Chains A and B, each alone.
Chain A
Amino acid sequence: MDLAFTKEEQAFREEVRSFFRDNVPPDTRRKLVEGRHLSKDEMVTWWRILNKKGWGVSHWPKQYGGTGWTSVQHYIFNEELQSYPAPQPLAFGVSMVGPVIYTFGNEEQKKQYLPRIANVDDWWCQGFSEPGSGSDLASLKTKAERKGDKWIINGQKTWTTLAQHADMIFCLCRTDNNAKKQMGISFIVFSMKSKGVTVRPIQTIDGGAEVNEVFFDDVEVPVENLIGEENKGWDYAKFLLGNERTGIARVGVSKERLRRIRDLAGKVESAGKPIIQDAAFREKLAACEIELKALELTQLRVVADEGKHGKGKPNPASSVLKIKGSEIQQTTTELLMEVIGPFAAPYDVHGDDGSNEAMDWTAQIAPSYFNNRKVSIYGGSNEIQRNIIAKAVLGL
């Protein structure tokens, strides 16, 4: 057992860190620190910088533009990225559809899509959830019917994150109504500009509109846009969801936020002195830091295990990551609410498109708290995670 990173790993961390220092646009960083949303341009600009460096799709196989890093290097990269902070690569393209395409797609599809994903020439969104299919995803109803050389797609997706920016969607569609529900689903990709696609924003409790409803009304899609085999979509979806085991803990994000809390708590006053001098507050902060340290160690156990023994059999501890990671993220936003106190209330009338630089930083704290309630819901709710532990780990 050894807690230390090797000299090479430490040097790698320094390299990554200094690249971020030199290349992340300062305004982009500031907005992330303050919990604001970034514009599409700001995100794409940064991703292209990253891609030019060769780090845009770091975990892909080398032949498709990946880096060939070790598990520990990936861990370091992610931690530095999250805690700098800089925008993380667009998960829908880089972590989700990309791996499905290079694993199950044909040569034509790989050539057509992969470089455009890496350079974010196409912005991808995810067409999984439906109004009636949340945790029970396999009950989805969006239909793709084969007509000649086209799929005709009808139905509705929801919670489609950043669909307003999207050029492409990967979509789970029912292609066989008679099969068992998991067996009749296909994985189809198509342009969001297709005729019959309508995007309607959903305003969320934080006042933002990062999720959408997407309607398909006789959308015509070329047959060659099916990825892999017809009716095997559920397998690809499971592959996609199981692909990202460790990033989900978002340890770097919480670390960055805890640093910010400590910083703000040294400035904001309570009872005539900085709130950090309040023993009760300080202990709450320490409690959260300790939980995060434990999670970081749990994540490192999983990372070290993957590095040594491969990704074949997941370390049982990996199922802890989503539950604790989301709980801790939520706790950090609660602590921010506590720091800001009564000034949590004023509503940001300017929106969060970055157009009003003078806007007080306090305006994003309550929205960030509201917004973070999602992290224990998405990606398999924490209740689903507990079902998984009970069945897969404890054998109940």
Chain B
Amino acid sequence: MDFDLNEEQRLLKDSIDGLLTDSYDFESRKKYMKEKGGWSKAVWGKLAEQGLLGLPFAEADGGFGGGGVETMIVMEALGKALVLEPYLATVVIGGGFLRHAGTDAQKAAHVPGIVDGSKTLAFAQLEKNSRYDLFDVTTTAKKKGEAYVIDGEKFVVLNGENADTLIVTARTRGDRRDKTGIGVFLVPANAKGVTKKSYPTQDGLHAADITFTGVEVGSDAVIGNPEDSLALIERVVDEARIALCAEAVGLMDESLKTTVEYIKTRKQFGVAIGSFQSLQHRASDMFVATEQARSMSMFATMAGDFENAKERANAIAAAKVQIGKSLKFVGQQAIQLHGGIGMTMEAKIGHYFKRLTMIENSFGDTDYHQRRVADGGGLI
């Protein structure tokens, strides 16, 4: 029973916190947002230099052999600084598919480019009506000799505009909501038949809706079993959920800190508004919500290594519920306590609120995961 970081993990935390303190204040972020694709190549290069992009990959594959705790440290730091760069899409999700199911050839083809920062990935999973069910897939991948032909539409693909390679879920057989017959495919973003409509998201990231029309890929594009990869998808998405929990904790930490600083300095009726008990109690409740979220983020991180898939899924679902409840409270109250200034684009708190809000609606919201825990027989 230990919740402390070890020496190496502390160094990792110090180094990424240091890097982001130097290069990621709120003003710099505004500039990065205007770059092509909506994030900074230079910052991405710095993350690569510090080895952060290779963190979770095995040393044999050119990575640093980091585990869940290391990813948690990075995601918390990225959250705290409200980072735009596609770490989740590229390293956590893209990297996750390669780590768990990539062939040696696939790893050799993709991991070095991720690690050195020259290539990014995107996860094309969401469909018009799939909402949060990962098995609800209508995009098809039809066998044509040794090749597959992919047809379908994917939505809100984060980093879809910039990614070099898309990881696409597609059905090789069966009906829309069948749990078998789903495969995962590596598709070059510039493949013939791929068309993208890009746009900024509410929280300042960039995404794309992507249409696949007769996109032909070879058998070397298949990750895992093309007929039965739902378990793989769930595993990787669970890791994405864990990462989002950690990012949300970083965002909440910074939101609380910013809010407390604000109410200590903002004066009304001749005194700092933080001297009013109603505001103090609200801030205390934000602290309680943040700590409960931190506990569940740590729990989810450690649950990521559970052998039992059902226990793992249940634990991570529970964490996403707690994070969802906490982030809604912390985010909303941060705006409330800032008052009018919290409503403006010029104050940073609103941007934190928006990112928190989008996390709630990513990979299953509070209700969705609460239902999963309830139907799974609970936690006690």
Enumerate chain A interface residues (CB-CB to B < 8 A): 1-6, 9, 72, 255, 258-259, 262, 279, 282-283, 285-287, 289-295, 297-298, 300-301, 303-305, 307-308, 316-317, 319-320, 323-324, 383, 385-387, 389-391, 393-396
Chain B residues proximal to chain A, CB less than 8 Å: 1-5, 9, 69, 260, 263-264, 274-275, 277, 279-281, 283-285, 287-288, 291-296, 298-299, 301-303, 318, 321-322, 367, 370-371, 373-375, 378-380
Q: Tell me whether A294 and B4 are in contact in the complex, defined as CB-CB below 8 angstroms, given that A386-B284, A386-B285 are known contacts.
A: no
In the complex, chain A residues whose CB is within 8 Å of the CB of B279: 396
On whether A291 and B2 interact (CB within 8 A), knowing A3-B299, A286-B379, A383-B281, the answer reads no
A317 and B295 alpha carbons, distance in the complex (Å): 10
Would you give the shortest CB distance from B378 to chain A, in whole angstroms? 5
Contact of A390 among B283, B318, B370 (CB under 8 A): B283
Q: Is the CB of A293 within 8 A of B318?
A: yes
Q: Which of B4, B285, B321 contacts A290 (CB 8 A)?
A: B321
Nearest CB in chain B to that of A309: its residue: B4
- The CA of A116 and the CA of B375, in the complex, are separated in Å by 51
Q: In the complex, which residues of chain A have a beta carbon less than 8 angstroms from the beta carbon of B296?
A: 290, 293-294, 297
CB distance from B35 to the nearest CB of A (A): 36
Please determine whether A4 and B380 come into contact, CB atoms closer than 8 angstroms: no
B260 to A395, Cβ gap below 8 A? yes
Q: Which of A279, A285, A390, A391 contacts B378 (CB 8 A)?
A: A285
CB distance from A138 to the nearest CB of B (A): 19
Contact B379 A289 (CB under 8 A): yes
Top 4 nearest A-B pairs by Cβ distance? A297-B295, A390-B280, A286-B374, A389-B284
Given known pairs A282-B375, A283-B371, the reply for A298 and B295 (CB within 8 Å) is yes
> What total count of A-B pairs have CB within 8 Å?
145
Residues of the B chain whose Cβ atoms lie less than 8 Å from the Cβ of A2: 1-2, 302
Chain A residues contacting B291 (CB-CB under 8 Å) are 298, 316-317, 320
Chain B residues with Cβ below 8 Å from A383 are: 281
Q: In the bound complex, what is the Cα–Cα distance between A37 and B13 (angstroms)?
A: 51
**A268 vs B260: C-alpha distance when bound (angstroms):** 48
CB-defined contacts of A394 to chain B, threshold 8 Å: 260, 280, 283-284, 287
Sample of 17 A–B contacts (CB below 8 Å): A1-B4, A3-B302, A3-B303, A258-B378, A279-B374, A286-B370, A295-B292, A298-B292, A301-B295, A304-B1, A304-B3, A305-B4, A307-B1, A320-B292, A324-B292, A394-B284, A396-B264
B-chain residues with CB within 8 Å of residue A287 when the two chains form the complex: 321, 370
Given A1-B3, A286-B370, the answer on whether A294 and B301 have CB atoms closer than 8 Å is no
How far is A223 from B378 in the complex, measured between Cα atoms in Å?
Answer: 57
Tell me how far the C-beta of B258 lies from the nearest C-beta in chain A, rounded to whole angstroms: 12
C-alpha spacing A6/B2, complex, angstroms: 11
Q: Are A1 and B292 interface neighbours, CB within 8 A?
A: no
**Which residues of B have CB within 8 Å of A291?**
292, 322
Q: Is the CB of B287 within 8 A of A393?
A: yes
Q: A396 touching B298 by the CB < 8 A rule?
A: no
If the complex has contacts A3-B302, A396-B264, are A286 and B378 also in contact, measured as CB distance less than 8 A?
yes
Q: Within 8 Å CB of B275, what residues of A?
A: 396
A290 pairs with B322, CB closer than 8 A: yes
- Residues of the A chain whose Cβ atoms lie less than 8 Å from the Cβ of B263: 396
CB–CB B1/A292 < 8 A: no
Minimum Cβ distance to chain A for residue B68 (Å): 9
* Complexed CA–CA distance, A394 and B4 (Å): 22
Give Cα A336–Cα B274 distance, bound, in whole angstroms. Answer: 39
- In the bound complex, CA of A292 to CA of B279 (Å): 26
Q: Which residues of B contact A307 (CB under 8 A)?
A: 1
A258 to B322, CA, bound (A): 18
* B20 smallest CB distance to A (angstroms): 22
Chain A residues with CB under 8 Å of B5's CB are 1
Q: Are A283 and B374 in contact (CB under 8 A)?
A: yes
| Cross-chain contact of B370 among A3, A290, A308, A389 (Cβ < 8 A) | A290
Q: Are B378 and A386 touching (Cβ within 8 A)?
A: no
Q: Which residues of B are found within 8 Å of A323, using beta-carbon distances? A: 288
Which of A255, A316, A317 has the most chain B CB atoms closer than 10 A to its own CB?
A: A317
Q: What chain A residues lie within 8 Å of B373 (beta carbons)?
A: 286, 289-290
Is there contact, CB below 8 Å, between A396 and B1? no
Identify the closest chain A residue to B373 (Cβ).
A286
CB-CB under 8 A from A316, the residues of chain B are 287, 291
Q: B288 — nearest CB in chain A belongs to which residue?
A: A320
A339 CA / B313 CA spacing, docked (Å): 28
- Contact residue among B1, B288, B379 (Cβ-Cβ distance under 8 Å from A293): B379
